[in-house]
Amino acid sequence: MYDKNKIIPGLIIFVGIVAFPFFYNLVTADYKPEPSLDTPVINKMSKKQCVRPKDFMKTEHMKVLHEWRDSVVRYGEREYGVIDGVKYEKSLQKTCMQCHSNKKDFCDRCHTYVDVKPYCWNCHIAPEGKEE
Amino acid sequence: MDRRTFLKIGAGVVATTAMGPLPQLVSCLQAKETKACAKNKWGMVIDVAKCVEGCTVCMDACRKENNVSAGNYWIRLATIKPKVPNAKSQPIPLLCNQCDDPFCVKVCLVKASFKRQDGIVLIDEHRCIGCRYCMIVCPYKSRSFVFKHYEEITNPDSPKRQHGVVEKCDFCVSRIDKGLMPACVEACPNKAMSFGNLNDPNSEVAKLVATGKAQRIRPDLGSKPKVYYLGL
């Protein structure tokens, strides 16, 4: 290869500049979206728990909601089950938002961070001004 | 491949295809406890003679219960005229007739319109792309398009519809699943509307239909509507 001494350092510098933002953010990014659990209903709970374990809900809540949606709309199966003596209905508005009544500080924090725009709230009504 | 292997593979393919409807059957078995199972077949009988002229109670109740968009109707006053000589035109409350063989479901491109196992024709608003084929094909013109996002909420427990989908009467399906009557039936001051299970011979609607006096609107089209009218 001709001009090996120039081309290889040049390539390294080029890749370094292009990849700089990724490395920079790897080192410096410390912002984590922290969904707030500070709602009246959750504060009253003696044992803080969701319909499924926290880690599962963190990664799979959209799949849970999709399953709920399909089984409710298509088959009319509205009951999710009983956990610790409490009956849960498969409903975003009536179950999820009953505890997580702080959409802005719970749903939106992560959704804004990862820039996803779920269309739930185009039709379903967020509990704004209902609680607190 | 010899003939024997071919037949074996062919039989396997046919058997697998025949299993297609199985999930539906299984879900029906699972849904035994819910109101949505096939043992129920919801229908409505409206006694037009009991309707008072100018009354809009059922329409108002529907709008309030379902957050119906402005300008759209799930139940409306329609004027019908029987195809007989010297017939008088008559106003009737017209809603989705929940056909047993619904045209809207047949034409839906994305399977957003579907018939639940208990016979209620529903729109999965999550799926609807707003092509409006169903509106063209509906003999009762009971579907309407949501032209703009509707902000006014009258019932916070019930969802609204977003811009660009089709909406229609769903027999107040969330109320039925809870064991309640549809909002219009409950609201009618003259008890002109009755609602119930057509499969249950002891239900009020089944008895009214059994008298043979209840008529349907345009049954000749073959969509087998499940809303009956008395006193037409």
* Closest-CA residue of chain B to A127: B156
User: If you average pLDDT over residues B28-48, what whole number do you get?
Assistant: 77
DSSP state of B145: E
Looking at residue B53, its pLDDT comes to 86
A103 reaches B (C-beta below 8 A): no
Say yes or no for a CB contact (<8 Å) between A73 and B156: no
Q: What share of chain A is helix, strand, coil (3-state, %, to 5)?
A: 55, 5, 40
Looking at residue B15, its pLDDT comes to 84
User: How deeply is B56 buried, as exposed, middle or buried, from its count of CB atoms within 10 A (0-12, 13-18, 19+)?
Assistant: middle
Looking at residue A63, its pLDDT comes to 95
Q: Coil, strand or helix: which one is A114?
A: helix
The residues spanned by each domain of chain B are: 1-33, 34-230
In contact, B49 and B213? CB cutoff 8 Å: no
* Closest-CA residue of chain B to A120: B126
Q: Coil, strand or helix: which one is B45?
A: strand
Looking at residue B153, its pLDDT comes to 87
% chain A with pLDDT above 90: 39
- At B27, the pLDDT band (50, 70, 90 cuts) reads low
Distance CA A121, CA A115 (A): 15
Q: How do residues B202-217 score in pLDDT, each as one tens digit?
A: 999 999 999 999 999 9
Looking at residue A130, its pLDDT comes to 46
Measured in whole angstroms, the distance separating CA B181 from the mean position of its chain's CA atoms is 14
Q: Is the dihedral of CA B205, B206, B208, B212 positive or negative?
A: positive
Looking at residue A132, its pLDDT comes to 36
Looking at residue B127, its pLDDT comes to 94
Amino acid found at A124 = H
Looking at residue B38, its pLDDT comes to 83
Does residue B154 surpass a pLDDT of 80? yes
Minimum distance, in Å, between the CA of residue B97 and any CA atom of chain A? 19
Entry pTM: 0.79
User: If you average pLDDT over residues B165-192, what whole number do you get?
Assistant: 93
Does residue A72 surpass a pLDDT of 90? yes
A 10 A CB-CB count for B96 gives 25
Say yes or no for a CB contact (<8 Å) between A125 and B159: yes
- At B25, the pLDDT band (50, 70, 90 cuts) reads low
User: If you average pLDDT over residues A56-74, what whole number do you get?
Assistant: 93
In contact, B65 and B172? CB cutoff 8 Å: yes
Give the domain B34-230 fold: Alpha-Beta Plaits (3.30.70)
**Lowest mean pLDDT, pick from A65-74, A77-86, B61-70, B178-187:** A77-86
* Closest-CA residue of chain A to B24: A75
Whether the complex's predicted ipTM is more than 0.90 is answered with no
Minimum distance, in Å, between the CA of residue A4 and any CA atom of chain B? 58
Tell me how many residue pairs between chain A and chain B have CB atoms under 8 A apart.
48
A interface test, pick of B115, B174, B180 with most A CB neighbours within 10 Å: B174
